[in-house]
Structure formats: structure tokens, C-alpha cells
């Protein structure tokens, strides 16, 4: 309740007047309720009529009305800055409004402020504010606010590659949303998309498909086209995990079409990379390569170095696949050319990848595969082990298992049976360690 609404309510109750009595002949009782709750602004004429009925003058309310209008103007300006990604300017305005506001009346101010802090790298402050909003939502039975706050905390931890923590927050958000019949469709769908994404990372394909499908069914027939495209993209990933490549290609192409229609060019590029990977796995590398080269060019123009690194690694994997095909066909010259191209792309990607990042781990894994194919045992082992260490640090179970199995296979191919056994034992130890801390301390139910 804002100050203007509070004054109107106090005078009405003082005179033992019901909302319907105050509203009679002027507006609906519902409008009075909204004005008192700070969800609607009365016109100057209506304010005069209410003042007369409540036995006071309009001047009693004017100062509060002016403050409210000034706050509304400031908030609109802050929202405008957010749309232009000028988060520093937006946060300065929102911080002033937050000093005057209340979590229960104007939660959107605090949600936007937390988002600004997130974008400005003040994640600790953002997490603390989101936790306060979550608790406020529970107290006020505003479950949409609580689900939103949980979802946002999960997003922050996901950006830090702390996948187990983000999974925990999104599971809590999903559980609360399921129990809340009035939850917003768009919000519930986003939580499920996020869960689909995290289970793809954590190597749980059935859960991945379950949540992407849930989001798709919620969004189908709605106007939330961007989220529907996200769900289609996720389903493409789920079908790829099942090796249903025609379905994966169709679903991913649907996502690309929707992103393009919405002029979401960056998301269209991301989906195009996914399409290229699926086509490579479907043994269509000649269709994959031009798609990846196009994406590298566009990401480079936008100076998106992480994306350039990622796609160069995928392109390297495509040339490695072609080298293996050429080797099987007995075409040594082409195999050597493709292998050299793949190595060069990995080195280029490594120059711009962040240390100990997922991108670096992917590059090390690819280099391990390249040197393994070239029978350079020691070098391949080194790169595989370096990738496993990083994957374990970011709790990427699927990748830890995948690379460990590749390393053990390499050990055995060189008759290093003791090393192969140790590799499997280390894999089991790492997986158990990750699972043990899947729910971080302090976040238990």
C-alpha cells in the first residue's frame, strides 16, 4: 500500500465506511480497492470527490499524488535504460526508488534492481535481494514472485557454471509453481526450459526431454514465441541425445524460423550452431561446415570471443570426423589435411578461451581426440586429463564420464591396462564426489 492509498483507507475506516459506500456513484468498489493498494491512480477530479466524501480537502492528498507521479516517471525512465542495456543508470534510479518503496507493494522495482546488479557483476547483492523477494512472496502468498526469485538465483549460478546449485534452485521453483494454480504460464515454462537445459548439462537425457516437452506443451498456442522457440531448440537437443536426428533437425529448424521471424539474430545464430552439430552427428559434415563457418564470421563481427571459441571447436570436431572418414576410406592425404585443419582450429580457439572454462575443457577434449587418432599417446593422455579436471570442477558429469571412457579406451589400445583401470576408478571417484555435493551445503530441504 502506498502513502496515498493508505491515507484514503485510513479515512474510510475512521468513518466506518465500506469500499462500496465510498465508491457509490463514482467508481466501482474494485477501483477503490486498487487505489488503496497502490495499483491504480485516481484522476484529480475523482480525488476531489473522494476527499469531499471523506470529509477532507484535496490538498490533503495532493503532495502524495505528486510523489507517486514522480516515482512513476522515474520508474519508466529506469525501465527505458534497462531496455537500452544502460544498467548503471537504471540501477541508480532504482536504488533511489527502492529506498522509498516496499517489497510487498512494488516488487517489480526490486526485481529490476536485482537484474541490474546481476548485469553489473554485483551478483552477491543480487542474490541477497532475490532471496528477500522470495521470502516476501511466500509471506504475501505471491507465489509468482517467489518462483521468479528462485528462477533468477538459478540463472546467476548457471552463469557461474555452478550447475548443481542452479539445478537446486530451479527444482524448488518448479515444485512451488506446480502447487500454485495462479502461476504465470510464461514463468512456469521458463523454469521448465531451464531445468531441461541443466539436465542436458548434467547428463540426464530423460529429465531433459521431460522438461522441454512440458514447456513446449504449455507454450503451444500462446503468443510467447521466443520461449516456444527456446523449447523447440531444447527438444532438438533431447532428440539428438536419443539419436533421432530427423526429429532433432526438424525441431531445431523450427526454432531457427521462429527466432528469425522475431528478429532475434543472436539466438538464431546459436540455434544454427546446434543444427550444424546435429548434421555432423547425422553424418552430414558437408552441410555442417558452411553453417559453422557462417556463425564464426558473424560472432567475430560482434566481438563475441566465447562464441567464436565454441564454434571453432565444433568446426574442429567436424574436420576430425571427416579425417576419420577419410582414414577409413584409405584416403591418407585428405585425412592428414583434415587433421591439420582441426588442430589449427583448436589452437585458434584456445587463444581466446578463458582459463579453466567449459570452452577450454571442450578444446582439450577435442585435442585429446585428435592426438589419439594420430597415435600420439602421451600428448593425447595429457589433453584428456586436463579436460577431465575442468569438467569435474564445473560438475559436468556427462563430460567427465565421456572423456574418462575415451581415455581408458586409449590406455587399453596401447596395452596400458593398469592405467585404464586407474582411469575408471578415478572416474567413479569424481562422479561420486559430484553427486555427493549435488545439493550444496546450506541449501538442503
Distance CA 234, CA 215 (A): 10
CATH topology of domain 354-445: 1.25.40
DSSP 9-78: HHHHHHTT--HHHHHTTTS-HHHHHHHHTTSS---HHHHHHHHHHTTS-THHHHHHHHHHHHHHHHHHHH
- Would you list the domain boundaries of the chain? 1-57, 72-183, 354-445
Distance CA 218, CA 212 (A): 10
**Which pLDDT score is estimated for 161?**
80
Do 1-57 and 72-183 fold alike per CATH?
Answer: no
Distance CA 154, CA 161 (A): 11
Q: Which three cell numbers stand for residue 208?
A: 531433459
Other beta carbons within 10 Å of 127: 19
Return the closest-CA partner of residue 50 out of 31, 63, 69.
31
**Which pLDDT score is estimated for 208?**
94
pTM: 0.73
Which one of 1.10.260.40, 3.30.2320.20, 1.10.490.10, 3.40.50.970 gives the CATH number of domain 1-57?
1.10.260.40
Distance CA 4, CA 7 (A): 5
Mean pLDDT of each 10-residue bin along the chain, 445 residues long: 75 89 89 82 81 81 55 81 92 86 72 95 96 92 93 95 90 96 92 95 88 96 95 95 95 97 96 97 96 97 93 98 96 96 97 92 97 96 97 89 96 95 96 74 42
Return the closest-CA partner of residue 357 out of 410, 399, 300.
399
**Which pLDDT score is estimated for 413?**
94
CATH topology of domain 72-183: 1.25.40
**Which pLDDT score is estimated for 215?**
97
Q: Which helix (H) or strand (E) holds 344?
A: helix 332-352
Amino acid at each position: 500500500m502506498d502513502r496515498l492509498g493508505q491515507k484514503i483507507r485510513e479515512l474510510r475506516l475512521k468513518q466506518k465506511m465500506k469500499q462500496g459506500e465510498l465508491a457509490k456513484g463514482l467508481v466501482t468498489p474494485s477501483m477503490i480497492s486498487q487505489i488503496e493498494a497502490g495499483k491504480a491512480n485516481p484522476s484529480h477530479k475523482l480525488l476531489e470527490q473522494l476527499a469531499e466524501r471523506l470529509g477532507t480537502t484535496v490538498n490533503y492528498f495532493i503532495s502524495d499524488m505528486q510523489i507517486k507521479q514522480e516515482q512513476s516517471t522515474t520508474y519508466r525512465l529506469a525501465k527505458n535504460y534497462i531496455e537500452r542495456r544502460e544498467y548503471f543508470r537504471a540501477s541508480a534510479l532504482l536504488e533511489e526508488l527502492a529506498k522509498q518503496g516496499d517489497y510487498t507493494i512494488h516488487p517489480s522495482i526490486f526485481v529490476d534492481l536485482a537484474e541490474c546488479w546481476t548485469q553489473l557483476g554485483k551478483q552477491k547483492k543480487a542474490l541477497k535481494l532475490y532471496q528477500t523477494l522470495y521470502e516476501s512472496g511466500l509471506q504475501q502468498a505471491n507465489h509468482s514472485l517467489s518462483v521468479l526469485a528462485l528462477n533468477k538465483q538459478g540463472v546467476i549460478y548457471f552463469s557461474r557454471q555452478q550447475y548443481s546449485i542452479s539445478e537446486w534452485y530451479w527444482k524448488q521453483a518448479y515444485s512451488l509453481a506446480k502447487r500454485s494454480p495462479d502461476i504465470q504460464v510464461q514463468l512456469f515454462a521458463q523454469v521448465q526450459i531451464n531445468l531441461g537445459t541443466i539436465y542436458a548439462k548434467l547428463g540426464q537425457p530423460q529429465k531433459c526431454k521431460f522438461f522441454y516437452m512440458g514447456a513446449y506443451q504449455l507454450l503451444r498456442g500462446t503468443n510467447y514465441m521466443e520461449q516456444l522457440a527456446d523449447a523447440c531448440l531444447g527438444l532438438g537437443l533431447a532428440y539428438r541425445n536419443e539419436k533421432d536426428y530427423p526429429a532433432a533437425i526438424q525441431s531445431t529448424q523450427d526454432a531457427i524460423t521462429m527466432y528469425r521471424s522475431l528478429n532475434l539474430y543472436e539466438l538464431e545464430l546459436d540455434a544454427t550452431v546446434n543444427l550444424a552439430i546435429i548434421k555432423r552427428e547425422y553424418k552430414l559434415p558437408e552441410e555442417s561446415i558452411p553453417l559453422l563457418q557462417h556463425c564464426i564470421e558473424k560472432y567475430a563481427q560482434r566481438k563475441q570471443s566465447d562464441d567464436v571459441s565454441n564454434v571453432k571447436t565444433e568446426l574442429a570436431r567436424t574436420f576430425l570426423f571427416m579425417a576419420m572418414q577419410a582414414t577409413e576410406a584409405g584416403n591418407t592425404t585428405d585425412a592428414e589435411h583434415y587433421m591439420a585443419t582441426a588442430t589449427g582450429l583448436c589452437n585458434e580457439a584456445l587463444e581466446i578461451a578463458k582459463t579453466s572454462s567449459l570452452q577450454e575443457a571442450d578444446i582439450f577434449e577435442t585435442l585429446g581426440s585428435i592426438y589419439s587418432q594420430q597415435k600420439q599417446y602421451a600428448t593425447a593422455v595429457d589433453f584428456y586429463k586436463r579436460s577431465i579436471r575442468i569438467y569435474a570442477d564445473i560438475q559436468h558429469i556427462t563430460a567427465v564420464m565421456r572423456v574418462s571412457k575415451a581415455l581408458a579406451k586409449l590406455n587399453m589400445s596401447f596395452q596400458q591396462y593398469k592405467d585404464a583401470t586407474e582411469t575408471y576408478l578415478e572416474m567413479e571417484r569424481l562422479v561420486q564426489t559430484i553427486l555427493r555435493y549435488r545439493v550444496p551445503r546450506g541449501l538442503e530441504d
